[in-house]
Amino acid sequence: MTELTAEDTSLLELVDRLLNKGVVLAGEATISVAGIDLIYLGLNVVLAAVETIEKAQERRAS
């Protein structure tokens, strides 16, 4: 079992709220890359996926 510090916990709770809670204005939102909507698996996954896809596109363009 990992030792989660109070600081880690607080950050996790905050990030969870920022990415997974709050008003959802779906349909108008979502991050899309080159017009392709990404499967919404939680914004943290989407953010990671966006970084990966954009890097791949950059490399192909170069």
Partner 1 sequence: MSIDAELDELRREVERLRGILPEQVDVDPEGVEHVLAKLVLVLVEFLRKLLERQAVRRMEGGTLSDEEVERMGLALMRLEQKVHEMARAFGLDPSELNLELGPLGRLV
Partner 2 sequence: MTLLAHAIAAAPPAAMSHDGLRGRSLAWSEAGGLGLWSTEWARDMKLERPDALAHHRLVERICAVQPCLPVRFGTAFATPDEARASLEKRAAALHAALTRVAGKSELALTLLWSKNSGASALRPPSVPEADGPGRRYMEARRAEYAAFATRRARAQALVDRVISELAIERPLVWHQTCTSEDVAVSLAVLVPTERALERKAELEHLAARFADVVPVVNGPWPPYTFAGTE
Separation CA 58–CA 62 (nearest Å)? 6
For the bound state, the minimum distance from the C-beta of residue 7 to partner 2, rounded and expressed in Å, comes to 9
List the one residue from 37, 54, 56, 57 that touches partner 2 (CB under 8 A). Answer: 54
Judged by the rule CB under 8 A, the positions of this chain that interact with partner 1 are: 39, 41-42, 48-49, 52-53, 55-56, 59
Map the footprint of partner 2 across residues 12-31, applying CB under 8 A.
13-25, 28-29, 31
CA 18 to chain centre: 10
CA distance 45 to 3: 24
Helix axes 43-61, 6-20, angle to 10 degrees: 80
Q: Which does 1 bind (CB under 5 to 8 A by kind): partner 2, partner 1, none?
A: partner 2
